[in-house]
Structure 1
């Protein structure tokens, strides 16, 4: 049995909002997870999901037993 935890959340970030990351203005993203927790993580963790319209969708973050970031995937 895995001690990893999985946190699901919705993101809707416009391209212009994410541009602040590249400009060095923003470094983190915060979101309210489905279970009500406020999650804060480095904005670079989702940069590969950036499109011309920004970053939209339903995501799942995986943390290990020590609450360290393992990964984020976009859910269908």
Structure 2
């Protein structure tokens, strides 16, 4: 299993593009510089009125399948 740390700052207006069908994935960069593309619905539990902000740990299999996504702190 692998894990990445991601610092995310996603304003609510940008996330709403998923609700409108204009976007299916969110592309982020991990702290170690890797680009990560994640289906937007995985971020929904973290959505607040202002958007999604914070640091997250993403765990995934060696094949790239998401195992868990948790907010740090």
* TM-score under structure 2 length normalisation: 0.94
Q: Which has the larger radius of gyration?
A: 1
**2:48 matched residue in structure 1:** 51
TM-align CA RMSD: 0.8
Count of residues paired in the alignment: 73
Any idea what the Cα deviations from partners look like across 1:8-62, whole Å, max 9, x if unmatched? 1111011111111111101111111111111111011111100000000000111
Residue from 6, 11, 14 that aligns with 2:11: 14
Gaps of 5+ in 1: none
* TM-score under structure 1 length normalisation: 0.91
Shift of 1:66: 2.3
Shift of 1:65: 3.0
Q: Which ranges of 4 or more aligned residues in structure 1 deviate by more than 3 Å? A: none
